Amino acid sequence: MDTLLDGTTMLAALAAGEVSAEELTRAHLDRIAGPGAALNALVAVDTDAALAAARTVDADRAAGRPLGPLAGLPITVKDSVDARGLPSSHGRPDDRRLATTDAPAVRRLRQAGCVVLGKTNVPVWLASMHSENALFGATVNPWDTTRSSGGSSGGSSAAVAAGLGVADLGSDLAGSLRVPAAWCGLFGHRPSNGAVSKLGNLPWPDGGLLEPMVSAIGPFARSAADTALFSEALFGAEGIEAVGWQLRLPPARVSSLTGLRIAVWLDDPAAPVDPEVATAVRGFADRLADAGAQVAELVHPPVGGPGDLQLYLRLQSAEIVHGFTADDLAAADDRYHQSVWAALRDLEAQRAATARWAETFTGVDVVLCPAVSRVATTYTPAMTAPETVEVDGREVPIDSVCDWARLSSLGRLPATVVPLGPGEVSGLPVGAQLLGAYLEDRTPLAIARLAEEAGLVGFRRPPGW
């Protein structure tokens, strides 16, 4: 079977007996070992365990036993996320460990019937838009192997875009899911904070019980339908809270593009956007309007500017520092120590941003904005990340390309990434994000699916794949 079909199509073929889970798994393993090897996306492959899991799915199907909603779909898992029996790392050999249990997100996907194929590459500390490290080398973009597939979930995005797995997980603190999704032409969903457990994810301490306050984890996929299916499998309370807490997300606000209220946000003094990206986002907004949506400008964004961007950078630093060892702390600059001191004040400000966004969403259903400021950046000749890149005619630090993800995360909002197709100048994928109200994840997911069904957005095979 063609491994670049989406998971929804594969599930139908599995249910009809057109392909077995074992055959599907072997097809993906062959692709990983064959053309996929050129991408350097996989850092560990668990062939025997994957085939055994696939055979179990086939046996359960043959016996008429209940199957999970994703039964038989082969997936890969970001290297920083624990998958039982496989090593985990955040790109540093000193911290690499063998996972003895699944992270909650991985456990939920296995319970839904997914077959775990292996682990995908990340940058050191998950702290770069280029997924390269001294341990495993550089992962490249299937659209252009001189370019980055994004970070920190760049191995994940390259694997899904090239058909090495049906889906993968992207952890997202500063755009680590949204940037790779956009640069590889994928769908993805960064859930509302707290909707999906992020336990069992480096660089936080092994066995840690504290849920990250700022970042989130969600799925990459090749269709909006798949993204919604995987998100539903991931949603839910975990850990000691699950004894008494339940997550009851509201249904989507809309069931049609007709009458959809959408606000376009393209201008911020702290986050420039390349004209190529702005043109693609505007074009999508125009297509939504032609389909019956009510499109307007977001005149007064609830967040924005240098002050809010600095607030998010402090929140980001405060979360990162929790995973530091004593040696890491000794080597860190004052920024990290100051961020810990001010963390509670900044968390209060983050809640205030959530409240301001809630007011905005009384008048609109979703906000459309860039996922990242430009298309995929190139590696240096040494296959390392460049220090600066060009955005809208200016040289800016490479880290700043994800500032749209930072600003839109300040309100803890759900964000569904949609692929808009190749840009008019570069011919490389451009992505946008649909922001929903806090804990209303099903609304941007539903709108992405409606747009996909209407032919307004969709995954395209990378050239040659």
- Measured between its terminal Cα atoms, the distance across the chain in Å is 14
Which entry of 80, 149, 152, 408 is annotated as an active-site residue? Answer: 152
Residue 232 burial by CB count (10 A; 0-12/13-18/19+): exposed, middle or buried?
Answer: middle
* Structure token digits, residue 229: 């299916």
Q: Is 264 in contact with 366 (CB distance < 8 Å)?
A: no
Residue 221's φ and ψ, nearest 5 degrees, are -160, 170
Bridging pattern class, strands 115-120 and 74-78: parallel
Q: What letter would DSSP give residue 125?
A: G
- Which segments within 137-210 are labelled E, that is strand? 137-138, 140-141, 144-148, 168-172, 187-190
Partners of 166 in the β-ladder: none
CA 340 to chain centre: 26
198 is catalytic: no
80 is catalytic: no
Cα separation, 89 vs 95, in Å, equals 6
Which entry of 80, 128, 171, 176 is annotated as an active-site residue? Answer: 176
Name residue 143's amino acid. W
Give CA separation, 370 vs 189, 335, 412, 435, in Å: 14, 28, 17, 10
Q: Is 430 in contact with 276 (CB distance < 8 Å)?
A: yes
176 is catalytic: yes
Cα separation, 180 vs 170, in Å, equals 9
Q: Is 372 in contact with 404 (CB distance < 8 Å)?
A: yes
Which entry of 20, 78, 80, 223 is annotated as an active-site residue? Answer: 78
Which runs of consecutive H residues, i.e. helices, occur in 34-140? 47-63, 104-111
* Structure token digits, residue 366: 């979703």
Cα separation, 108 vs 77, in Å, equals 13
Residue 11's φ and ψ, nearest 5 degrees, are -60, -40
Between vectors from CA 124 to CA 118 and to CA 126, what angle results, nearest 5°? 75
Positions annotated as catalytic residues are 78, 152, 176
